[in-house]
Amino acid sequence: MPRVKRGVTAHKKHKKILQLAEGHRGTRKRLFRKAHEAVMRSMAYMYRDRRNRKRDMRRLWIIRINAAARMYDITYSKLMNALRNADIQIDRKMLAEMAVHDEAAFGEVVRQAMGAVAK
């Protein structure tokens, strides 16, 4: 059986990890073992934080909607319940966007929701 020399594949593997470690400081970008540790940890953080970003954004939208809703003397939970009862299907992201950039449209949505509840 012929002898297999693994220099090419090892070099390719090391090069791939070291390229992922660009932007790190010191030995974390120069030495393979330290770079590998740093890259694996950073990838774990990236995976975790892609999920956390969704939570953070939803939390931000809720805060913005609540702040805008209180300008119309209604709380967030009552507004969301009114929207559900009025069968107005608009998600939190769009509501928050309206609350920040188009207050008149947000006010109209609040009025329609509260009008449907009052009936």
Within-domain flag for 34: yes
The CATH number of the domain where 76 resides is what? 1.10.1900.20
Task: Name which of 13, 17, 57 is nearest 41 in CA terms.
Answer: 17
Compute the mean pLDDT over every residue in the chain, rounded to the nearest whole number.
95
Is residue 98 in some structural domain? Answer: yes
Q: Give the total number of structural domains in the chain.
A: 1
Residue 119 has pLDDT above 70, yes or no: no
**Residue 1 included in any domain:** no
CA distance 42 to 35: 10
Query: Among the listed ranges 3-12, 29-38, 56-65, which one has the minimum average pLDDT value?
Result: 3-12
38 located within any domain? yes
- Does pTM surpass 0.85? no
Full domain range(s) for residue 24 = 7-118
Tell me if 2 is assigned to some domain.
Answer: no
How far separated are the first and last CA of the chain, in Å rounded?
86
Q: For the residues 73-89, what does the mean pLDDT come to?
A: 95
Q: What is the mean pLDDT of residues 22-50?
A: 97
The reply to whether 110 falls in a domain is yes
Residue 53 has pLDDT above 70, yes or no: yes
Q: Mind listing the pLDDT tens digit for each residue in 87-105?
A: 999 999 999 999 999 999 9
